[in-house]
């Protein structure tokens, strides 16, 4: 946790996708201070005609290397989110050759009760993870 869902235009190799996922994980570890084993990543690949990512009128150029990332997470705060945005684009550019203009990120915040990591239990609420302690 957090859960990172990447939307990519199809065509990247397995090695390119692994580099992208590794770079994102490192950025997340630094910005959100989560344990290294907190790694939940999904990649969805789309035909070019099935993925339209425009610039909201900001004049941001996009290419076929565009990455749309949805981050589902407990609240992290504005500073941690901003740090994650910056670290992610820096690492994706350095490690994967993806231009910062090709990276769009949306953070969807949720609460402890919205997570179950298995066994049908809300581990943050039961105290099995660093959330609330059982009463």
Question: From CA 96, how far away is CA 65, in angstroms rounded?
Answer: 10
Tokens at residue 3, please? Answer: 């859960």
Residue 48 bears catalytic tag: no
**SS (HEC) of 64-116:** CCCEEEEEEECCCCHHHHHHHHHHHHHHHHHHHCCCHHHEEEEEEECCHHHCC
- DSSP lists the bridge partners of residue 44 as 7
Catalytically active residues, by annotation: 2
């Amino acid at each position: 946790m957090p859960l990172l869902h990447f939307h990519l235009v199809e065509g990247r190799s397995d090695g390119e996708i692994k580099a992208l996922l590794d770079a994102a994980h490192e950025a997340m570890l630094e910005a959100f201070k989560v344990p290294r084993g907190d790694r939940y990543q999904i990649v969805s690949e789309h035909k070019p005609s099935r993925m339209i990512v425009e610039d909201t009128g900001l004049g941001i150029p996009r290419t076929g290397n565009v990455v749309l990332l949805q981050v589902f997470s407990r609240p992290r705060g504005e500073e941690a989110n901003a740090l994650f945005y910056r670290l992610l684009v820096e690492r994706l550019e350095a490690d994967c050759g993806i231009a910062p203009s090709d990276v769009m990120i949306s953070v969807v915040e949720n609460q402890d009760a919205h997570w179950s990591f298995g066994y049908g239990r809300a581990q943050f609420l039961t105290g099995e993870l660093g959330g609330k302690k059982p009463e």
